[in-house]
């Protein structure tokens, strides 16, 4: 996994609407990348629903939260609609898992991203990282609040 103090790898991925989003789009702002395995899985559904509850605290701290998984932009759009969340979801779809690999959180054998969090400062430097022991575990929202 990427380490605190490293420059975050640049990326450009389509969001849930098919619009390209890059790390440079967040220059000058703090960014929380939420890597998760798959849309519509029960654990991912629970995670994004739980994280929705801390959006006011993230906003107050000036942190933007973005989810990333290997699903397509079309799947992300349907997932957002089902959950009723406004979180930007980026499709690390093709080449599959490249951004997750760049951040050191791609699980080759499973073909998915690990469940990991990466907080990036306004200069693009990694401030904080967190990875669960298994993709079945959900990072508690409290660890994010402590980090920000």
Please report the DSSP string for 12-37 in residue order. Answer: EEEBTTS-EEEGGGGTTSEEEEEE-S
Catalytic residue among 21, 44, 54, 129: 44
The Cα 136–Cα 35 span in angstroms is: 13
* H and E: helices and strands count for the chain: 5, 9
Closest CA to 16 of 60, 65, 81: 81
| 44 in active site | yes
Active-site positions read 44
């Amino acid at each position: 996994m990427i380490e605190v103090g490293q420059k975050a790898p640049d990326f450009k991925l389509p969001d849930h609407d098919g619009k390209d989003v890059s790390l440079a789009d967040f220059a000058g702002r703090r960014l929380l990348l939420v890597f998760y395995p798959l849309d519509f899985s029960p654990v991912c559904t629970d995670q994004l629903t739980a994280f929705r509850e801390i959006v006011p605290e993230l906003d107050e701290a000036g942190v933007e939260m973005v989810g990333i998984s290997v699903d397509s932009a079309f799947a992300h759009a349907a997932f957002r609609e089902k959950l009723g969340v406004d979180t930007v979801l980026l499709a690390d779809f093709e080449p599959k898992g490249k951004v997750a690999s760049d951040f050191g959180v791609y699980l080759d054998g499973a073909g998915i991203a690990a469940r990991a969090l990466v907080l990036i400062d306004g200069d693009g430097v990694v401030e904080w990282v967190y990875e669960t022991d298994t993709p079945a575990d959900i990072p508690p929202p409290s660890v994010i609040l402590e980090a920000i």
